[in-house]
Chains A and B, each alone.
Chain A
Amino acid sequence: MKKTALVFLLSACLCGCGTPMVVKQLSTEQVKTQATLEQSLKNYFAIIEKLVANQVVASNYLIDQATNGIIEKRKQQALKALDTANAADRERILDELSQQTKAELETAAANKAEIKLRVEKLQTKHKELLEAYAAIRAAQEKLDAYIQLEKADEAVLNEVIGIVGINRQKAEKATDDIAVLTERLSSLLGR
């Protein structure tokens, strides 16, 4: 009876002892590494976004400063023109100044809006990248769950081992030894 059980056990081991431990370990490490990398990416993108936000403040300040400077210069031009202008020209000069001021303020607003749009694109891209990575990590986690799972053939083997009363590690060692012996035998026969 014991002999038959051993033969059955070894056959079962040779057919498949479930997922090798090293595969399970690699899978666990892979999941851990991906989770760490995901957090690193989140932190990295947050830093980039802070940097860009600061640049936006600086650029908006420069835009305002330049725009105010331009308006000031236009006023100077208008004042010079007004010195020598007649009544009709004065109205035209003031109208032009008003239009130029309006145009400069509109340009500044458009520039700021353009910057805002580009930064939003950056934020959206970061979000898309993080979402894609989260999906990759989730897929890896699911694969890991399957890898760590006790499979039906493994359950059969564990139960049979339990019935026969043999240590699982010893049984796996026996199959490893068989594999080594088979390889040596094959190489001997090959010569």
Chain B
Amino acid sequence: MTMNEILEALQETQGKLEAARVDDDSKLELDILILQLRRALAVAVFDPLKDLDEVTVADTSQLTQLVREVQTAIQNEQKRVTLVKKITTTAKVALKAAGIPIPS
């Protein structure tokens, strides 16, 4: 039986007691019980959030480390490219000096 079903059953009983004009201490206890249950329901709305602890988030610590390493690889590659361009520039100068035409 869910909390809602219990509340409905209690409210039904409360209705019957009111219709019968019962106004003793047990009726007051029933009223209090219903109010306590309503209050518990207002909290229970958030119960699904209890399961959040079981929701795991992907561990990205390795990614952060590897990003730094890739950055180093990029810088190394840029240095290699700079070197290649220096070599080819020198080669172009040499070819020009040897009288070999280089298209611009």
Q: Which residues of A contact B (CB under 8 A)?
A: 1, 55, 58-60, 62-63, 66-67, 69-70, 73-74, 76-77, 80, 107-108, 111, 114-115, 118-119, 121-122, 125, 128-129, 131-132, 135-136, 138-139, 142-143, 145-146, 149-152, 155-156, 159-160, 162-165
Contacts and interface: CB of A to CB of B under 8 A. Distances in A.
A69 B55 CA distance: 38
Interface of B: 25, 28, 31-32, 35-36, 38-43, 45-46, 49-50, 52-53, 55, 57-58, 60, 63-64, 66-67, 70-71, 73-74, 77-78, 80-81, 83-85, 88, 91-92, 95, 100, 102-103
Given A66-B42, A142-B71, A163-B88, A151 B52 contact: no
A1 B75 CA distance: 35
A119 B25 CA distance: 38
A74 B31 CA distance: 10
A1 B63 contact: no
Which label, helix, strand, loop or mixed, suits the secondary structure of the A interface? helix
B35 A69 contact: yes
Given A73-B31, A115-B46, 11 more contacts: A59-B45, A62-B38, A76-B28, A77-B28, A108-B39, A121-B53, A125-B52, A139-B66, A143-B70, A146-B74, A146-B77
6 contacts: A1-B100, A62-B39, A125-B57, A132-B57, A145-B70, A165-B103
